[in-house]
Structure 1
């Protein structure tokens, strides 16, 4: 249904940090099934498995409102993850399937849950993710304040 080029038109992630290869099912404002095949010689780190699932969630939340560029379209922010459970590592050559369900969408804030599977085996469960999109300009003062705070403490 959606390939990597389609996904790149929807979200701002780019290789090597684009961690969704395709979407096989998309029911607007309801659910999505996406996938990512692990390359390289090492298992996919848990934090990247979660990032990959989060990118699939972002495709679901933003499929009708593309945001390919953070400077003009906004910055996606994962505000809170709850109920994360990891199973076994995802190994090189394996394809992980992300299943995402939209709980609620309020303006640019989405509430989603789901799981990731390899074959029939659950490798990660997500009880809830709260994600939002904020204008890049609104985040600059906070980022710059953090930089000046770090300089003062050294």
Structure 2
């Protein structure tokens, strides 16, 4: 699939405008800036540049800005959405059907967050490297191993279950 990925509209890295065409999230809730690696339907690596002007830093926490853990989980879930939508995009393009499909409508839902461990704070100036890999599927549910790193050190790890949109 990598060759097809390179030949069609999913040339890596995926920049912000391409990501916005794939998932429905928008500022201030679009939490991934670029997708550097992508194996459609299987895995991906994205980045979130954490800046001091993020709206959540105004209240979390005054005097000690820390990116909320729930937003790190959301960023990982958005990467998972890109992984799944990219699979649909590659499948449709391989069949050379219409390009009038709204891929953002294919984003499923967060079903469960399991065994998430926060190992370090994420603060302004950090570049959060998000990683996700599908490790199992049962019916419409998929189990995805996720982790995030700053400067090569894991800051968050665990698993997320997502459901396909029906």
Q: Do the two structures share a fold, i.e. TM-score over 0.5?
A: yes
Residue 31 in structure 1 maps to residue 62 in structure 2 = no
More strand by share: 1
Unaligned runs of 5+ in 2: 1-12, 58-64, 89-101
Alpha-carbon distance, 1:76 to partner: 3.0
Q: 1:57 matched to which residue of 2? A: 80
Alpha-carbon distance, 1:2 to partner: 0.4
Which piece of structure 1 moves more, 86-95 or 73-82?
A: 73-82
Matches within 5 A, 1:43-82: 43-65=66-88, 67-68=103-104, 73=105, 76-82=108-114
Q: Deviations over 1:89-132 (max 9, x none)?
A: 11101110011111134675432112100011111001x21112
Q: Give the TM-score normalised by the residue count of structure 1.
A: 0.76
Q: Distance in 2 between matches of 1:106 and 1:29?
A: 14
Q: 1:132 matched to which residue of 2? A: 163
Which piece of structure 1 moves more, 40-49 or 20-29?
A: 40-49
Q: Give the TM-score normalised by the residue count of structure 2.
A: 0.71
Q: Distance in 2 between matches of 1:36 and 1:102?
A: 20
Unaligned runs of 5+ in 1: 136-154
